[in-house]
Amino acid sequence: MRTNLTLLEQSDPYSLCVKCREILHVTDTMHKGRLEWYCARVDPLTLRDLDKGTVPNYSRAHQLLKVQEKGQVLGRQRGCRSNLKKRTLGQLRLVKSKPPGEPPRQLLLDPCPDPDRSPKPYSLVRPLVVQAPRPVVLSPDCIAPRLIRNLLDLPTSRLDFHLCPAGEQEQSETLANDEPAATPSQENCVAPGSLQDQRESRRIRTIRECIGKNKHCLLELGLQRVRDLIKSEIYPIIIHVEVTEKNVRGLRSLLRKPGQRDSDVVKLCQSAEQALHALPCSWACVDAQSWCHAEELVKVVRRYIFQEQNKVVWVEDGEL
């Protein structure tokens, strides 16, 4: 199973200290008659059991997860209020009075985002070994398109990668909608599986053609579409770039919308990172300390792609 929370070492000498997104092999769900699980930490590359110990059972882990998320939400709310106060004070200015007939301007303030939905503390996963080049999805979306193009500009990248543009994907998703609607008599004549065959997207076909050419398909695709790929038995390499207040200025050249505030960019990137935890497959994170500017970042991302290709893919297998 995959852990979706961090478990700090407790007073029990047999408890296992676990980080979020680690893989555990559970061998006993009622260890010594107590409400805890006995498990082994799994090496994600060799699949071998490593150190062993106990972790809270599902019910207790869910309580701990809610406590952790409550602390994170309070921290984000405090930061949001602080940024809102600074932004408001920074935008104060003197203006001339408006004529009586002109309607007054209104000040619209964006509220702090609602807390994200709580993920499960544990998820059942199964390992998959994918030999063929896997497609690539980059996150966050605000820098992904230009990061992809910078990646293609690197020497020999055209031999390893193929771009699947967003426009091509959007067109593929509307192919079924562009076809004339079938009459009731025609619907009765259609084979059960043929409609689904007709709706198979051009994006999926493009990815498979790219795999056949032994290339990674670079997808200008949001994280919300990853589940569709997995349903088609396509397991993408997902790489998220960690963005903080310290390194956000280093990727200004990659932003889709220039002129955004640093705080807004960081907030967007943090929201994208939260969305990653809901994905049913493994993903990689480019640490903020591993790059300083956009030119260095693209080389780091390229290295991560080849590293992830050689790793086992952990896919969520169902609910506990």
pLDDT of residue 9: 64
pLDDT of residue 177: 43
pLDDT of residue 50: 95
Please give the mean pLDDT across all residues of the chain.
79
More confident residue, 103 or 165: 165
pLDDT of residue 79: 53
- The DSSP-derived string for the chain is -EESS-B---SSTTBPPB-TT-BEEEEESSGGGSSEEEEEEE-TTT--EEEEEEEE-HHHHHHHHHHHHHHHHHHHHHHHHHHHHHHHHHT----PPPPTTSPPP----PPPPPPPPPPPSEEEEEEE---SPPPEEEE-TTTHHHHHHHHHTSTTHHHHEEEE-HHHHHHHHTHHHHSPPPPHHHHHHS-TTHHHHHT--HHHHHHHHHHHTT-EEEE---GGGHHHHHHTT---EEEEE---TTTGGGGGGG-SSTT--HHHHHHHHHHHHHHHTT-SB--EEE-GGG-SSHHHHHHHHHHHHHHHHTSPEEEEEE--
Least confident of 52-56, 175-179, 250-254: 175-179
pLDDT of residue 52: 94
More confident residue, 45 or 72: 45
Least confident of 60-69, 70-79, 203-212, 300-309: 70-79
Residue 160 pLDDT level (bands cut at 50, 70, 90): very high
Residue 193 pLDDT exceeds 90 = no
Task: Tell me the average pLDDT across 196-210.
Answer: 74
Percent of the chain at pLDDT exceeding 70: 72
Residue 36 pLDDT exceeds 70 = yes
Domain boundaries, the chain: 1-85+116-127, 129-173+199-318
pLDDT of residue 89: 47
Least confident of 186-190, 228-232, 274-278, 284-288: 186-190
More confident residue, 14 or 82: 14
Residue 182 pLDDT level (bands cut at 50, 70, 90): very low
- Tens of pLDDT, residue by residue over 46-63, are 899 999 999 999 999 999
Task: Tell me the average pLDDT across 272-276.
Answer: 88
Residue 80 pLDDT level (bands cut at 50, 70, 90): low
- Tens of pLDDT, residue by residue over 98-110, are 455 554 443 333 3
Residue 172 pLDDT exceeds 50 = no
pLDDT of residue 97: 41
Asked whether the domain spanning 129-173+199-318 has the same topology as the one spanning 1-85+116-127, the reply is no
Q: Which homologous superfamily does the CATH classification assign to the domain defined by 1-85+116-127?
A: SH3 Domains (2.30.30.40)
- Tens of pLDDT, residue by residue over 137-147, are 999 999 999 99
pLDDT of residue 187: 47
Residue 190 pLDDT exceeds 70 = no
Residue 136 pLDDT exceeds 60 = yes
Class of domain 129-173+199-318: alpha beta
Residue 167 pLDDT exceeds 70 = no
Residue 94 pLDDT level (bands cut at 50, 70, 90): very low
